[in-house]
Amino acid sequence: MGQPLDPAKALFYGKFVVGAYTMFKRDPASLTPEPQPGDIPDPYEMYAWIHMCDFIFGRTGPLFYGLVAQNKNTEGDFILAIRGTEGAVEWWDDASAYMVPFSQVPHAGRVAHGFDKIYSTMKVVPYPRPEEKTMALPAPLQGSLLEQLDQLHSRREKSRAMKLKLNETRAERPYVVTGHSLGAALSTLFVMENKQKGKFDICTSCTFASPRVGNMLFARTFNLMTLDSWRIVNTCDLVPKLPLHIPLILDYEHVNTAYEFTSWLKPNPVCWHSMSTYLHWLDASYPLDAGC
């Protein structure tokens, strides 16, 4: 299942999730929040915004939920980061735990209905490059999150006239995928969809406080992939214990590979679940949230 946890790399990837939270909290109504200095760690820059919709008594409007960042130095390394839950509506989505086939890869096992439904709403909005600001608006991106990102990459690769190596059908696209809480579940679905469709070269999946995403078949299929899979878990955190594993009824299983720690801090479930708690475990110099 790849290389063991590298705390320094995991901390670096986690900062992109923190950046997504920060951008959202700065202006929750904005679908395209402009990153401020410090939101995206160097040497990366914005490549695209990620939106999604909640469901409660019907579908709500879209929200900014994550980002894709590109390495400015190589222009060939990318990080997809998806934030976690920020309100009661999103927790309702998390609680929709009856199982359905994963709509993008039905033969790969069953997953939580709420996660599958949210994943189907995710949209990619390109972060405009200077040369694109004067161009005519391109056709909207279509399909799943993975398919939309593939279309965006193909469009930009074509505009840059990128040359393919011998026997390549597309340019190399090294990706790290990371997320917290609900975002961890969604990033896991992204990795599974890519296993089937092969659009990106995912080298690392780094999740924080991930709930269980799917059943035993889903977990086993995921675990057969060749990548570094780091599922970081605070044993005090309640979210990784959900949805419940109930034999013969809900056969939810976690994907590999768990890296556990125990941090009670204050007796507060919010503190146990906070991204800062997870990053503080990786590096004791990382500040905890106020009140934790």
Distance separating alpha carbons of residues 242 and 248, to the nearest angstrom: 16
* 94-113 average pLDDT score: 88
Residue 89: per-residue pLDDT: 47
Lowest-confidence pick of 17-26, 29-38, 259-268: 259-268
DSSP secondary structure, 183-228, as one string: HHHHHHHHHHHHHHH--SEEEEEEEESPPP-EEHHHHHHHHTS-SE
Q: What is the pLDDT of residues 148-199, one digit of tens each?
A: 999 999 999 887 765 555 555 677 899 999 999 999 999 999 999 999 999 9
Distance from C-alpha of 239 to C-alpha of 94, rounded to nearest angstrom: 9
pLDDT above 70: residue 88? no
Domain spanning 7-282, CATH class: alpha beta
Element (H, E) at 258: strand 258-261
Boundaries of every domain in the chain: 7-282
Residues 6 or more apart whose CB falls under 8 angstroms from that of 30 comprise 64
In a 13 Å sphere around the CA of 169, the CA atoms on its Cβ side amount to: 6
d(CA 126, CA 32): 10
**Low-confidence winner among 32-46, 109-123, 155-169 (lowest mean pLDDT):** 155-169
Q: Quick one: CA dihedral 220, 116, 178, 137, positive or negative?
A: positive
User: Looking up tokens 């709930």, which residue turns up?
Assistant: 211
Share of the chain above pLDDT 70, in %: 89
Q: Would the pTM of this model clear 0.85, i.e. be above it? A: yes
Q: Are strands 258-261 and 228-234 parallel, antiparallel or unpaired?
A: parallel
Over the stretch 212-233, which tens digit does the pLDDT of each residue have? 999 999 999 999 999 999 999 9
Task: Answer whether 94's CB lies under 8 Å from 179's CB.
Answer: no
Task: Say what the pLDDT of residue 267 is.
Answer: 83
